[in-house]
Amino acid sequence: MGSDFPTSVLFCCDHNSVRSPMAEGFMKKLYGQRAYVQSAGVHSDREIDGFSIAVSAEDGVELSRHRSRSFEEMMDWGDDLGGFDLIIALSPASQRQALELTRYAHIDVEYWPIMDPSGLGETREAKLAAYRQARDQIKERLLARFGPPTHG
């Protein structure tokens, strides 16, 4: 599948605070400028998650400046969904919204069932382990879908 490299990718999940920012960050780290990469959520009612920042930083991806945004805000800020070649949904709700918003456009929507770590774990270490698992699922899917990294 690595030969089918899009020019623009949008990652989406429920709140754009955990999974989709990690996917955006790792796509940029692994593949550099090969594609325009953004992320959005069904809602933007949360700030970037501190555990997402921590586990991404362990692998050299900086997320602390990420600003969560919804599909609606993304379009308000000038990113038209029609401008993306590929939308990768990381949650069922974001997959439904992406399909609804693109039903008249020719845009591929893929669903990657990445676990939501945000409610898991009682201790800090258990929470970090859950977030690392989600991070690693994202990295594995990126490499399987887009091939060997161009960078880092």
Domain assignment present for residue 131? The answer is yes
The predicted model scores a pTM of 0.92
Domain assignment present for residue 104? The answer is yes
- Average confidence (pLDDT) per 10 residues, the chain, 152 residues: 77 94 97 93 86 96 92 82 90 93 87 94 95 97 94 57
Which domain, by its residues, includes 36? 8-146
CA angle 94, 150, 53 (to 5 degrees): 50
Structurally, the chain folds into a number of domains equal to 1
* Helix, coil or strand: residue 149: coil
Domain assignment present for residue 2? The answer is no
Domain assignment present for residue 152? The answer is no
- Say what the pLDDT of residue 113 is: 94
Domain assignment present for residue 51? The answer is yes
CATH code of 128's domain? 3.40.50.2300
**Which one-letter amino acid corresponds to residue 115?**
M
Domain assignment present for residue 63? The answer is yes
